Chains A and B, each alone.
Chain A
Amino acid sequence: MNTSYAMPRWADLVLLPLVCLAVALLAAGGVVALVGQHPVEVISVLVHGAFGSARGLSYTLYYATTFVFTGLAVAVAFHGGLFNIGGEGQAILGGLGTGLVALWFSAFLPSWLMLPLMVVSGALFGMAWAVVPGYLQAYRGSHVVITTIMFNFIASTLLVYVLVNHLRPAGAMSVESVAFSESAKLPGMHEALAWLGVAWPASPLNLSVVLAALAALGVYLFLWRTRAGYRLRAVGSSPSAAEYAGIRTRHQVVLGMAVSGALAGMVGMNEIAGVHGKLLLEFVSGAGFTGIAVALMGRNHPVGIVFASILFGALFQGGAEVAFEVRGFSRDMVVMLQGFIVLFSGAMVYVIAPLVARGLNLAGRCLRQTGARHG
């Protein structure tokens, strides 16, 4: 992401995203008011629903887990100079991979073998789905944005095909596979905490949240502490300098997409292994696109992404509460807010950033003047 406006690092990483978020909230609040709701009331219900109870918090973190995976996927690709819109399709394939090995092996393998196998399978399937567009971009010049969009659609039809034609038990009405054996299920957080003697309400939150945290740490280490991550960032930041350094640009593009796809593929662990215990149609439902918003808000840094994911998790969970309690409100308001966030943090950032920079200058000057007066 190039910065053609001058502002100190802290402002770029923290203040600017907050300002963009505020603008998005204002826009969304405007719509809320327009349709006759009370923005303040809606916000308070939302915040309470997301954080005000242990159950609410669990749901928030459960949603956040998926977003961390898709957000990290987008961020890694961005660092390599690529826009990976294919998170949706890569997550679907990852879930398919996770589910397939679960269906095939969960009856014979114990948990400690099964679960890692599912993680690896999910990562590999997601990776494969991202590597093809990556390869086509690097070696044949096909625009990665278009190919990944196409791959999203192909992925969803593929999933329907596999479920309907191969995995759905004969005679069943709902489009889903049989349930996995117990060994393929990730323990829920309430189970894990109960094991430690702590009482916690049941919720979809499961141990994949730990996996997400590890993934965030892993991405941080990868990007800033490994040679491969260094080379990826060099290619993304200055392909000509990378060429000078002898870095194989095309190689890095494919590698970046591979890591990106593998991360998106982890969504299956949260949804399929952690919650549903079987393969079904709707387990991604837009999380790939939320990942874009999360990456933009989080300025493509794992720490920012974790915070942004929790924010969006809160929006989803709080949004469900609001839909429950406030008449005339539906979860689509959250979708709309998400769109505003992508618009203002992503596309309009060059409209907002100069204003923020000028504001900072003005504030700095005022402070100095008051300082001079008092000094």
Chain B
Amino acid sequence: MTGSAARAAIAVRMTGIQKRFGAVAANADVNLTVLAGTVHGLVGENGAGKSTLMSVLYGFYQADSGNIEVFGRPAIIRNADDAIALGIGMVHQHFMLVDSLTAMENVMLGAEPHWLLRRAESQVRSKLETLMQSTGLHVALDALVSELPVGDRQRLEILKALYRGARVLILDEPTAVLTPQETEQLFGVLRVLREQGTTILLITHKLKEVMRLCDQVTVMRAGCVVQEMPIAQASIEGLAEAMVGRKVQMGRLQDDVLSLGDVLLQASHVTVRDAMNVVRLDDVNLNLRGGEIVGVAGVSGNGQSELLDVLSGLLAPIEGELLLCGQRFSAAKWLDPRAARSWGLAHVPEDRHARAMVMDFAAWESAVLGYEALPEYASGGWMKHAAMLQGTATMMERFDVRPRDPALLSRSFSGGNQQKLVLARELGQLPKVLLVGQPTRGVDIGAIEFIYAQLRAMRDAGCAVLVVSSELDEILALSTRVIVMNQGRVAGELPIEDCTEASLGLLMVGGVA
């Protein structure tokens, strides 16, 4: 254990940090004190402000107001170079590595000690080997990055930061891409680094890890710090509640208990791996019945996006089966978006700009996206221009899309109006199954209630609705029952009556309800 004298020194102190993006206060009067030589956890949901705060510390953003002190001295951090000069290093979620170069070359780049590579390499190698010995961070220096497994690449990123003299190390969701074994190895390394006096800032939403590793924890919610305490005084339940805590509106719009219809969509044992062979969905089972809204809650990045992609046919799993409106699909021959639509599935994507619309198309062209081959829109190979325009006008009327101009470019509409048009398009097909991702992201307040009403109307008409959202409020407002995803698995399922901040929060962070 390092001496308490060293521990008492403050590595980083941020006071009164304010950062607005437009109307949104990402950081509102945030204070953070990080003791030197400790592992300090920074937890919160998406949008809580923790990433913004760390970006301010690392120089990606400038705070609107507030002060930063690094090791007791006031610091102005305008860019990454300033941060590095002060001894702050950051390991991003998305690695900044060149695959075709070796590990050592990646560490060296930009800080080569000599213009002749051979000479530079021998100097760097000895320094790196000392570093690897003392920290226990081992990476094959001469291996190409493309050959390294994900855990090694992350270690390489840490080495890169340490090589540049980082005494404060910021880690952004480091275990998101790691296997349990790799996570253990990482923790071992972090403990060694702490022994050596390095200060570590761990951004995460995984409370179990926080409890195991951190000395101190700060909880952020909606741009503010809501709790800060030594770990000894914290508990998972308490942290979860602080992270998620809000008054759940009891008595949400009480509708009569509707009779649930048949199972319209049934997914069994669905497993998905991504390009780096990391498991994204792990043996997921899901049922959707007509007349219900199933909300999928959870911190972003825990498999919700992959779930939507798999169910809509954009992604094929390596294992699993799907039953959609009586039609069976297996992993070997998965459904595709066109087949999905023909079997009565509609999908409102999470990413409006890249998926839901073609931004450079006119509104009417986006309004038929995915449905351009339907008989009401096409005959022979020809598009029925008038019918499409008329159809779009009707959609705009029904969903109050403004301005009511089908010829206007899709990108010219506001976010809310774009979303309404997309919903109009998908709902207009009277689907049996409706998948919706982030229904009100980027949508103004006025449109939100309208959208909710539309989704409830679909439910009442017997449609099976799946809503994925990172806004817990939204999930609670809409759902008949709630599924929580954590690390690619369905962590738990609760009927709406049993949902409380504590129970949901716990599921979201990997605890057991």
Contacts and interface: CB of A to CB of B under 8 A. Distances in A.
A2 B361 CA distance: 12
Given A241-B357, A246-B338, A227 B385 contact: no
Contacts of B336: 246
Interface string B185-218: 0000000000000000000000000000000000
A225 B381 CA distance: 9
B359 A238 contact: yes
Contacts of A244: 314, 337, 347, 349, 355-356, 369-370
Contact of B361 (A225, A227, A237, A243): A237
A61 B340 CA distance: 51
A297 interface: no
A296 B314 CA distance: 35
Contacts, number: 64
A230 B374 CA distance: 14
B337 A246 contact: yes
B292 interface: no
Interface in A347-363: none
A228 interface: yes
A341 interface: no
Nearest to B379: A227
B370 A246 contact: yes
A283 to B, nearest CB: 33
Q: What interface size band does chain B fall in? A: 20 to 34
A242 B338 CA distance: 11
B358 interface: yes
Given A234-B358, A237-B358, A238-B358, A245 B382 contact: no
Contact of A241 (B369, B381, B385): B369
Contact of A230 (B351, B356, B359, B365): B365
A15 to B, nearest CB: 18
A174 interface: no
Residue of B338, B351, B358, B382 with most partner-chain A CB within 10 A: B358
B378 interface: yes
Given A230-B365, A237-B360, A237-B361, A245 B383 contact: no
A228 B358 contact: no
Contacts of A234: 358, 361, 369
Contacts of B382: 225-227
Interface string A265-294: 000000000000000000000000000000
Nearest to A242: B358
A230 B372 contact: yes
Interface string B394-422: 00000000000000000000000000000
Given A227-B372, A227-B378, A241 B355 contact: yes
Contacts of A241: 354-358, 369
B461 interface: no
A238 B356 CA distance: 10
Contact of B369 (A2, A226, A245): A245
Given A241-B354, A245-B370, A226 B383 contact: yes
A75 to B, nearest CB: 15
Nearest to B384: A225
B360 A238 contact: yes
Nearest to B366: A241
Given A238-B359, A244-B314, A244-B337, A231 B354 contact: no
Interface in A190-230: 225-228, 230
B286 interface: no
A314 B383 CA distance: 37
B132 interface: no
A226 B358 CA distance: 17
Contacts of A226: 381-383
Interface string A236-252: 01101111111000000
Nearest to A231: B372
A92 B143 CA distance: 49
B9 interface: no
B314 A243 contact: yes
A159 to B, nearest CB: 34
A238 B353 CA distance: 9
Contacts of B50: none
A242 B349 CA distance: 13
Contacts of B365: 230
A194 B337 CA distance: 58
A227 B373 contact: yes
A237 B385 CA distance: 20
A243 B339 CA distance: 13
Contacts of A231: 372
A241 B370 CA distance: 9
Interface in A1-18: 2
B341 interface: yes
Interface string B327-347: 000000000111111000001
A226 to B, nearest CB: 5
B358 to A, nearest CB: 5
Contacts of B359: 237-238
Nearest to A226: B381
13 contacts: A225-B385, A226-B382, A227-B372, A227-B373, A227-B378, A230-B383, A238-B354, A238-B358, A238-B360, A243-B337, A245-B337, A246-B313, A246-B341
Which 4 pairs of residues, A with B, have the shortest CB-CB distance?
A246-B338, A246-B337, A245-B370, A244-B355
Given A227-B373, A244-B369, A245-B372, 8 more contacts: A230-B383, A237-B361, A238-B360, A241-B354, A241-B356, A241-B357, A244-B337, A246-B340
